[in-house]
Structure 1
Amino acid sequence: MDSPDSAAEPPVDDLQSVFHLHETRRDGDRVLFYGQSLVPERMLVREVWEPFREAGYEVQVSTTRNNREDVVVARPVTNGIDGVPWKNLGLFLATVVSTLLVGALTWYYIPLSDVLANPLLVLRAWPFTAAVLGVLATHELGHYALGRYHGVDVSLPYVIPFIFPFGTLGAVIRMRGQMPDRKTLFDIGVAGPLAGLAATIVVTAVGLTLPPIEVPPWALQGSGQVIVFNNPPLLNLLAGLLGEPTEYADPTVAVNPVIIGGWVGMFFTVLNLLPVGQLDGGHVLRAMLGESQERVAALVPAGLFGLAAYLHYGLGYALNESVGLWAFWGLLSAVIAFKGPADPIDDSPLDTPRVLVGIATFALGALCFLLVPIEVMAV
């Protein structure tokens, strides 16, 4: 793909076949065409997208403030990294620090006083950090690789630092370009979950075979309650195949924290595969079903709110267990669904092999789902 500096002149003749052009302006590296569209907006974009793309431009349509003119905005597209991605690197390093700190304090039971006296003690948690960031980065790099392969303008991953319990809120990429067709939308959408699941399986298997860690006596003295992260079916399946335990009767022994990296990968896979809006599941299902995906997306928030209500009123779980979690995602999925899915330029149906891969991806995601991911138990 041409860079902005080498982009050809926009193909005005192709635009004028479907657009009555009044004026052309330049705004930095963008070219703005003012006039009236002779066809509906989606048809306009579909007609001019390919010639503009070949010339090195992405096109979008908007209107002026008084709604009297249509504006076609042509922006040069680059398929490379422009300079050093300082923001990506800064967030990554911050997340390395946050996951090391949270891992040391929470999962390796290093006292805060010891960490304050010797901050280098957090480096003991490097396997936890490598597991969590490895899973999340592999997921996002799956999207990135397929985005670059298809010539879609995507950013490098942004990893988000946080606090308890994992030291991160996950990772995201930005897709600035439009999707040319359902095939591209599907490939980019499905690549993240499949790559992330592959990394999750490897991390989980490694964690299961590593020796457990000792829980110091001070960690067992507290309020009499602990937060338990229940096992997804996939984790139990892998443990069974390897013949390794996922818990111990002795409270002074805990599983290796690397397994938590696998748990994180499974949990984020479930959330990402919710079939709404711009989530991975939304992309995949939009590519598989076309515009019918929006009818499915409308049911997701209601389903999550219903799940939260069932856990609270039917099974008696407290809000701080998994009730609040599903209620929060019900609200968030409603917002995401309202913003709508990606709309490919060419909405031709997806081929059968990809549809089968999509079904298999959702089936694998179902192996990562559990009704009560987190609960509070007495000790």
Structure 2
Amino acid sequence: MGSTDPPADGPSLERLSGVFRVYEARRDGDRLVYYGEPRVPRERLLEAAWPLFREHGYEVQLTTETGEYVLVAEPADNSIDGIPWTNVVLFVLTVISTLYAGAAWYHIDAVADPLAVLRAWPFAAAVLGVLLTHELGHYVMTRYHGVDATLPYFIPMPSLIGTMGAVIRMKGQMPDREALFDIGVAGPLAGLVATVVVTAIGLSLRPEEVPMRMVNSPNTIQVEFGYPPLLELIAWIVGEPTSYGPGKAVNPVVIGGWVGMFITFLNLIPVGQLDGGHIVRAMLGEQQERVAALVPVALFGLAAYVFYVENVSNASVLWVFWGLLATYVAYVGPANPIDEEGLDPARKAVGVLTFVLGVLCFTPVPIEIIA
């Protein structure tokens, strides 16, 4: 049995005594370890202990070791130590993959002239700019609320847009529902601002000329994007069309704006630890689970509608995939804040507005591939 004297840089036993009876306290490397017995339920224990450890610069979690309850505190360090090579390498790979994806939209033969893909930089800049702005919105709020989080990880993917998006990983405890809301809502709102700008710029650029050999070829695969109401609204405001006759297509930068809207809608699905799940968890508390239980049902229903009514099989597969993913995410559950005090009316209003904007980014058939 170790000492009952706490480490010098940890909270005193007296301050913990009301919620956790400590019978051993020691330092384990850079961690502080307190063995003991909870005197209150887990939620109340963390609500009381978390700010005490944060005063000393630690993140604390309650766990068990060999049947014993243990408060394990690790240094809360939000600083970036050295060059984040994983983030840098993934970003560079995503730049390359989006350039190659953009080459198809600019009708560039990347096999014959690999360096010609650099001409697709407006498309790559549009897609990456929207994604980066979205993730930086989250990251800035994690820094503001003192939540430990990584820099964005971009995900390269050979596809029509060259990426599967980007994510940040939150490693620290969520202090309260205000922090959960701010972090969750900042990404979609920041990303939407970038999306609107990118879309307006793309619509103002000249349309892309489609070579007639491709228009007339029986082997050409036609890709049709379903434009959500927000994109149509922006086009109406700037006075530009969203479709052209044979031989012309919207400038590929517009596709970057479409990507931003599609990703915004997907992230706002109110389940688990998606942005929408964070927002609803912060607004409704534990009642969020009732909403999350309905989400997979709605997505499977949407898949059936698209398949049987719209008669678009590839879009139906897309919604089935997201229905399965939502089922898993709902099972994993949302991020749970330590302090469950409710939100102020202003934040609730922002939350409702965010979901309204998310609906404007929705279209039942986002993309249709016609062979």
- State whether residues 8 and 56 of structure 1, in contact with CA within 8 Å, keep that contact through their aligned partners in structure 2: no
Q: Secondary structure at the match of 2:170?
A: coil
**Within the alignment, does 1:21 sit opposite 2:19 as a pair?**
no
Distance in 1 between residues matched to 2:325 and 2:25, nearest whole Å: 40
Output the TM-score relative to the length of structure 1.
Answer: 0.92
* Deviation by residue 1:130-176 (Cα, 9 ceiling, x = unmatched): 00000000000000011101111111111110011101000000111
2:365 is aligned to 372
2:185 is aligned to 190
Which amino acid is the alignment partner of residue 188 of structure 1? Answer: I
1:56 is aligned to 57
1:347 is aligned to 340
* Deviation by residue 1:41-87 (Cα, 9 ceiling, x = unmatched): 111101111111111011111112x4x21111101111221211111
Q: Secondary structure at the match of 1:262?
A: helix
**Within the alignment, does 1:77 sit opposite 2:46 as a pair?**
no
Distance in 2 between residues matched to 1:376 and 1:165, nearest whole Å: 11
Distance in 2 between residues matched to 1:25 and 1:257, nearest whole Å: 59
Q: Which of residues 219, 236, 239 is equivalent to 2:235? A: 239
Q: Secondary structure at the match of 1:113?
A: coil
- For the aligned residue pairs, the C-alpha RMSD in angstroms reads 1.5
Deviation at 1:8, TM superposition (A): 7.2
Q: How many residues are paired up?
A: 363
C-alpha change, 1:113 and 1:225, in structure 2 (3 Å) is closer
Distance in 2 between residues matched to 1:29 and 1:219, nearest whole Å: 63
What does residue range 1-379 of structure 1 map to in structure 2 within 5 Å?
A: 9-13=9-13, 14-64=15-65, 66=66, 68-104=67-103, 106-115=104-113, 119-220=114-215, 221-223=217-219, 225-249=221-245, 251-318=246-313, 321-377=314-370
C-alpha change, 1:8 and 1:231, in structure 2 (3 Å) is farther
Deviation at 1:211, TM superposition (A): 0.8
Deviation at 1:224, TM superposition (A): 5.5
Distance in 2 between residues matched to 1:246 and 1:8, nearest whole Å: 66
Distance in 2 between residues matched to 1:120 and 1:225, nearest whole Å: 24
Distance in 2 between residues matched to 1:292 and 1:8, nearest whole Å: 41
- State whether residues 283 and 342 of structure 2, in contact with CA within 8 Å, keep that contact through their aligned partners in structure 1: yes
- Unaligned runs of 5+ residues in structure 1 are 1-6
2:3 is aligned to none
Distance in 1 between residues matched to 2:367 and 2:54, nearest whole Å: 47
* Deviation by residue 1:9-60 (Cα, 9 ceiling, x = unmatched): 1103223332222333433322222222122111110111111111101111
1:3 is aligned to none
- Unaligned runs of 5+ residues in structure 2 are 1-6
2:4 is aligned to none
- State whether residues 8 and 55 of structure 1, in contact with CA within 8 Å, keep that contact through their aligned partners in structure 2: no
